[in-house]
Amino acid sequence: MRRKRPLAQIDPQRCTGCGRCIAACPLPIIAFETQDWRKYAVLQDAPRCTGCGVCEPVCPVGAISLVQRPEI
């Protein structure tokens, strides 16, 4: 059986809004959202995420993990 590509998951509670993941991702699919004056990164276009994993190690607070893509 072919394994599905993983999906990046960002924990909004941990995110400090540094923007490193946005700069590192080869696609324009992570963007900032602001709530209660707090800025955090959100994966806005999950279907386009290739699961390349580039964003995970650049996060200084470990807010990004690669998870199994949910079944559709």
Residues found near ligand SF4 in the complex (CB under 6 A): 8, 10, 15-21, 25, 27, 29-30, 41, 43, 49-55, 58-59, 61, 63-64
CB of 28 to ligand SF4, least distance (A): 9
When the beta carbons of 1 and 67 are compared against ligand SF4, the nearer one is: 67
CB of 2 to ligand SF4, least distance (A): 18
Contacts of 50 (CB under 8 A, 6+ apart): 5, 26, 27
Ranges assigned E (strand) in the chain: 7-10, 30-35, 38-43, 64-67
SS3 9: strand
